[in-house]
Chains A and B, each alone.
Chain A
Amino acid sequence: MTVTEDAATLAPAKEVGQPRRRKEDARLITGRTTWTDNMVLNGMLHLAVVRSPVAHARITGVDVSAAQQAPNVVAVLTGRDLAAEQGSIPCAWPVTADMVNPGHPSIAVDQVNHVGEAVAIVVGRTKAAATDAVELVDIDYELLPPVLDMETAVQDGADLVHDELESNTSYHFVFDAGEAGTGVDTEQAFADAEVVVSRRLVQQRLIPAFMEPRSVVVQPQGDNFTMWSATQIPHVLRVMLAMVTGVPEHKLRIIAPDVGGGFGGKLQVNPEEVLALLVARRLGKPVKWTETRSESLMAAHHGRGQVQFIDIASDRQGNVKGLRVRLLADMGAYLRLITPGVPALGAFMFPGIYKFPAYRFECDGVFTNKVPTDAYRGAGRPEATFAIERIMDELAVELDMDPLELRRKNWIGAEEFPFTTVAGLEYDSGDYEQATQKALDLLGYDELRAEQKRRRESNDPVQLGIGFSTFTEMCGLAPSRVLGSLSYGAGGWESASIRMLPTGKVEVVTGSTPHGQGHETAWSQLVADQLGVPFEDVEVLHGDTAVSPRGMDTYGSRSLVVGGTAVVKAAEKVVAKARKVAAHLLEASEDDLEFADGKFSVRGTPGAAVGIQEIALAVFAAHNYPEDVEPSIDAEATFDPVNFSFPHGTHLCAMEVDTDTGMVKIRKYACVDDVGTVVNPLIVEGQIHGGLAQGIAQALYEEAVYDADGNLTTGSFVDYLVPSAADLPHFDTANTVHVAPGNPIGAKGVGEAGCIASTPAVVNAALDAVRHLGVSDILMPLTPERVWRAIHEGGDGGARAAAGTNAYGGAQTESTAGVSTPQSSLGGDR
């Protein structure tokens, strides 16, 4: 990609499509920005949270006297102190009518249900004073058996996370295509099938690991409260905090200043946000809480966490006949904002790009004594994509068929769009063959296949494999009526307004709150084209409920598709309002006006023209404007999409596996994504890169591991392996463009694509390298130990990896379920 200097004389006719460098960068590269933790207010107090060191216990005694007497400690508050006012962390997505939600206290009162749960708050004059006194809070715990493994937790007679409930199952969600009328009977399809392949796959728990730790500052002013928070969702947070705490919504202002990444991890109503508000209200003083990284890994929500039982049916020629999915989805100890909805959202994506005649999905949401799960980049769709792309490879092996040929045989043809899938979704546009062909060329597929053959024949200790992922995803969350039909608690629209200032400058207010995506740049490009004003004349405002009063914020690859469209719709209204004023000023009929390049001109009357920026001044002065209109050309718009958008692409990974050491190395990674119209290719490529890094990290590096007592053993960046530059390869990326028909921009969404698509490509590649050695699965992450054991000892590499190491010793988690031994649960066989 080349970056061009944008001198005014070279200014492109159209901004959309240009690799504009970002407006956001200036403050970020010079260290002059406004992270929440930078905020200092007079008299500000600091919060430190006392957290449970045990996974499951009754609280039998709390002694805060020593902490209260510590120097510079202002107050110590426990769950009992706040029980009457803390309410419950809201769950906005009751996926079934009978879903069981035990409630989620922000601070534990009688019982703790995961390590890291808040049990007391120390308020100090300095952060150090508060943190020092944490050690002085004395809490007695009566231990209860920890419930950690989902497959055990759903058995009859299992220990219960919440003993007031009948079981550890929160809900049983079913989508059956036969019953929905979108497919044939699934059981019959399997009964009639010539080939059935079944696998148990594991989606390990991951941690979003945004770089900026969570931080919140609350300032009380009379009966008003202003909260600064490192959040993705200031608007949602405001509504929810009002409902939870009883602070009236109009007395609450939320500001998300620059936010250092989110990836779904800051799509939450955090217990600490509730607690900071309650403490500020009680003490009448400004307060700040900023977490440590260890707290973040332990107490901020995790993602993924599924055991997947996948059955695929086909005939001997490889025509797929049915897909059956049964999930155990780890909720953790409580239901947070959309905890139960994440796997349910994925329900519709398991069929992928393939034409299944039959499909049945069942999911149990299971409580465990771990921190709750919730959204993490892709949220339900990476899990689904992993399952379908892995099982397609397994079916290809069973049929002794080329995995690409099997995919081709079953995917939706370019001429078949729009296509209604067996899950009932209407895929909008695309061409899977075109993207695949381009990706094969980019990878140098034929040469690598030839090298793979040579290495195999020579029995090279380093084997080569190639993995496919031909994926699609549902983006642009979301049509509000569809969300309603899925029992989600809110809509999926987005809001924007445009203010035309007297000097002709333009303020764009968006309800979609960015945290690194580059909204300020991309929205400026959209508005520059719509209004014909210079890119530099546009300022984008966001992230403050007093400035941007309506919004649904940023997640689900929705910002450009939904929020950008709202901006375009608002700009159209500005032009429509300006047209009336222009007609008046030019003494012409509206019908005779043309609007181009920011100017209204009269058709057939050269020289008769007025610019939209001049009109902004004219209505500010308001000396001369039409009788029947208001003296303003400002406008706002709310856009509610009719359908999701469906980006797709083909991701190819070539992987070297050292069979002597188990070390894997990505030799080459090539992907071609179709995200519809590209507004800014620089930003789109960056989003793909970042998504790839996270998807590859799931395959190779990351897992939230709990030991047999429910302690998070990957509780710092020493053990939770966020990859560095040296751990990741160069990516070869490209695009095809099939315009999204559902919005005027034609964009489909790009934020999650790389993360959704890449994981199965990487795992399929590793398996392709060693399948001839008898390996048919390796648990993620593909650590050298797991890969080596899978090659040399059989199985999926998890069995012995569970024993004898600190990280996996006795861990009764999904990735070791059924393989942990009594010895390993006692700490391994060291």
Chain B
Amino acid sequence: MTSINVRVDGASYSDDVEPRTLLVHYLREQLGKVGTVVGCDTSNCGACTVHLDGNAVKSCTVFAVQADGSEVTTIEGVGSADALHPVQKAFHEMHGLQCGFCTPGMIMASIDLLQENPSPSETEIREGIEGNLCRCTGYQNIVRAVQQAAGELSGSAGQA
């Protein structure tokens, strides 16, 4: 067992973990952060995407011990029902989800994409989220959602 100290969604945790424990399993099984889900075992689907020190990572590709001393943000930390993140709001408004299983990872990847490229083209959006698989939507409404969120985020940045 190895001791780690992690901040997750604004709260501090100190835990002992097996060195082989994946970050996603630590989040789900030890912290109860079940908003982040597991969709595959080869880091292809991106359903488990979270932010590690501000950057999107597939949390099945990161050991919990690698997050020691880091700040993790999950889907549960980016917004709430009363104060949605613009990307969450856009997924709702543009019908960017159906079953919703890929959605947490897709939203986290999209937020990261917009941090790096605030006004992506359609092609840049499609390539920017190609590490995240969705089986329901055919992606078109996800692209629309990211486009809407980009507009809203750049608009609010302009006002600030």
State the A residues within 8 Å of B (CB).
3, 21-22, 24-33, 35, 37-38, 40, 127-128, 209-213, 258-261, 263, 292-294, 515-518, 682-683, 685-687, 689-694, 716-718, 722, 724-728, 730-731, 754
Q: Pick from B62-70, B95-103, B151-159 the stretch touching chain A.
A: B95-103
Interface flags, B59-88, vs A, CB<8A=1, else 0: 000000000000000111001110010001
Q: Is the CB of B135 within 8 A of A261?
A: yes
User: Which residues of A are found within 8 Å of B139, using beta-carbon distances?
Assistant: 689, 693, 724-725, 728
The distance in angstroms between the C-alpha atoms of A727 and B131, with both chains bound, is 11
User: Which residues of A are found within 8 Å of B14, using beta-carbon distances?
Assistant: none
Q: Is the CB of A294 within 8 A of B133?
A: no
Q: Is the CB of A211 within 8 A of B92?
A: no
Q: Is the CB of B140 within 8 A of A731?
A: yes
Closest to A126 in B: B29
| Interface assignment of B118: CB less than 8 Å from any CB of chain A | no
Instruction: Answer whether A209 and B138 are a contact pair too, CB < 8 Å, given A717-B40, A725-B125.
Output: no
| Residue among B94, B107, B134 having the largest count of chain A Cβ atoms under 10 Å | B134
Q: Is the CB of B130 within 8 A of A22?
A: no
Taking a contact as CB atoms closer than 8 A, the residue among B42, B88, B99, B132 that contacts A261 in the complex is: B99
* Contacts beyond the supplied A724-B139, A725-B129: 14 A-B pairs with Cβ under 8 Å: A25-B91, A29-B103, A30-B80, A33-B35, A211-B102, A212-B99, A261-B136, A293-B40, A686-B95, A687-B98, A693-B137, A718-B44, A724-B131, A726-B130
Q: Is the CB of A260 within 8 A of B101?
A: yes
Q: Is the CB of A294 within 8 A of B41?
A: yes
A-B contact count (CB 8 A): 180
Instruction: Answer whether A261 and B95 are a contact pair too, CB < 8 Å, given A716-B44, A724-B133, A725-B143.
Output: no
User: Which residues of B are found within 8 Å of A693, using beta-carbon distances?
Assistant: 135, 137-139
User: Which residues of B are found within 8 Å of A261, using beta-carbon distances?
Assistant: 98-99, 101, 135-136
The distance in angstroms between the C-alpha atoms of A24 and B138, with both chains bound, is 19
Taking a contact as CB atoms closer than 8 A, the residue among B18, B28, B35, B98 that contacts A686 in the complex is: B98
Q: 9 shortest A-B CB distances, which residue pairs?
A: A31-B35, A516-B99, A260-B101, A28-B100, A689-B138, A31-B75, A717-B44, A693-B138, A293-B40
Q: Is the CB of A211 within 8 A of B45?
A: yes
The distance in angstroms between the C-alpha atoms of A294 and B136, with both chains bound, is 20
User: Which residues of A are found within 8 Å of B38, using beta-carbon distances?
Assistant: 37, 213
Instruction: Answer whether A30 and B101 are a contact pair too, CB < 8 Å, given A292-B41, A293-B40, A293-B45.
Output: no
Write the nearest CB–CB distance from A60 to chain B, whole angstroms.
31
Taking a contact as CB atoms closer than 8 A, the residue among A3, A128, A211 that contacts B133 in the complex is: A211
| Interface assignment of B37: CB less than 8 Å from any CB of chain A | yes
User: Which residues of A are found within 8 Å of B102, using beta-carbon distances?
Assistant: 211, 260
* 16 A-B residue pairings within 8 Å (CB atoms): A22-B92, A25-B92, A30-B84, A32-B81, A210-B101, A211-B102, A211-B133, A260-B102, A261-B135, A293-B39, A294-B42, A686-B95, A686-B136, A693-B137, A694-B135, A730-B122
Closest to B92 in A: A25
Q: Is the CB of B138 within 8 A of A263?
A: no
Write the nearest CB–CB distance from A659 to chain B, whole angstroms.
24
User: Which residues of B are found within 8 Å of A727, using beta-carbon distances?
Assistant: 130
Taking a contact as CB atoms closer than 8 A, the residue among B81, B88, B138 that contacts A690 in the complex is: B138
The distance in angstroms between the C-alpha atoms of A592 and B76, with both chains bound, is 55
Q: Is the CB of B142 within 8 A of A35?
A: no
The distance in angstroms between the C-alpha atoms of A689 and B94, with both chains bound, is 13
Q: Is the CB of A686 within 8 A of B137?
A: yes
Q: Is the CB of B36 within 8 A of A26?
A: no
Q: Is the CB of A28 within 8 A of B97?
A: yes
Taking a contact as CB atoms closer than 8 A, the residue among A30, A683, A725 that contacts B35 in the complex is: A30
Q: Size of chain B's interface in residues, with CB distance under 8 A?
A: 58
Q: Is the CB of B98 within 8 A of A690?
A: yes
| Interface assignment of B15: CB less than 8 Å from any CB of chain A | no
Q: Is the CB of A716 within 8 A of B41?
A: yes
Q: By DSSP majority rule, is chain B's interface helix, strand, loop, or mixed?
A: loop
Closest to A731 in B: B140
Taking a contact as CB atoms closer than 8 A, the residue among B41, B81, B101 that contacts A211 in the complex is: B101
Q: Is the CB of B135 within 8 A of A29?
A: no
The distance in angstroms between the C-alpha atoms of A716 and B76, with both chains bound, is 28
User: Which residues of B are found within 8 Å of A28, using beta-carbon distances?
Assistant: 97, 100, 103
Q: Is the CB of B88 within 8 A of A692?
A: no
Q: Is the CB of A690 within 8 A of B135?
A: yes
The distance in angstroms between the C-alpha atoms of A25 and B141, with both chains bound, is 14
Q: Is the CB of A293 within 8 A of B42?
A: yes
Q: Is the CB of A258 within 8 A of B100?
A: yes
Q: Is the CB of A726 within 8 A of B126?
A: yes
Closest to A261 in B: B99
Closest to A518 in B: B98
Closest to B76 in A: A31
User: Which residues of B are found within 8 Å of A260, using beta-carbon distances?
Assistant: 37, 99-102
User: Which residues of A are found within 8 Å of B40, using beta-carbon distances?
Assistant: 293, 716-717
User: Which residues of A are found within 8 Å of B93, using beta-carbon distances?
Assistant: 3, 21
The distance in angstroms between the C-alpha atoms of A32 and B143, with both chains bound, is 23
User: Which residues of B are found within 8 Å of A682, using beta-carbon distances?
Assistant: 95
User: Which residues of B are found within 8 Å of A31, using beta-carbon distances?
Assistant: 33-36, 74-76, 104
Closest to A295 in B: B41
The distance in angstroms between the C-alpha atoms of A92 and B103, with both chains bound, is 35
Instruction: Answer whether A730 and B140 are a contact pair too, CB < 8 Å, given A30-B80, A211-B101, A690-B135.
Output: yes
Instruction: Answer whether A29 and B133 are a contact pair too, CB < 8 Å, given A21-B92, A35-B37, A716-B40.
Output: no
User: Which residues of A are found within 8 Å of B138, using beta-carbon distances?
Assistant: 689-693, 728, 731, 754
Closest to B122 in A: A730
Write the nearest CB–CB distance from B121 to chain A, whole angstroms.
12
Closest to A516 in B: B99
Write the nearest CB–CB distance from B108 to chain A, whole angstroms.
10
| Interface assignment of B8: CB less than 8 Å from any CB of chain A | no
Write the nearest CB–CB distance from A30 to chain B, whole angstroms.
6
| Residue among B79, B81, B97, B135 having the largest count of chain A Cβ atoms under 10 Å | B135
Closest to A290 in B: B38
The distance in angstroms between the C-alpha atoms of A258 and B35, with both chains bound, is 12
Closest to A521 in B: B95
Closest to B136 in A: A690
Q: Is the CB of B100 within 8 A of A516?
A: yes
Interface flags, B13-51, vs A, CB<8A=1, else 0: 000001000000000110011111111111011010000
User: Which residues of B are found within 8 Å of A33, using beta-carbon distances?
Assistant: 35, 100
The distance in angstroms between the C-alpha atoms of A682 and B125, with both chains bound, is 21
Q: Is the CB of A29 within 8 A of B92?
A: yes
User: Which residues of B are found within 8 Å of A293, using beta-carbon distances?
Assistant: 39-42, 45
User: Which residues of A are found within 8 Å of B80, using beta-carbon distances?
Assistant: 30
Q: Is the CB of B137 within 8 A of A29?
A: no
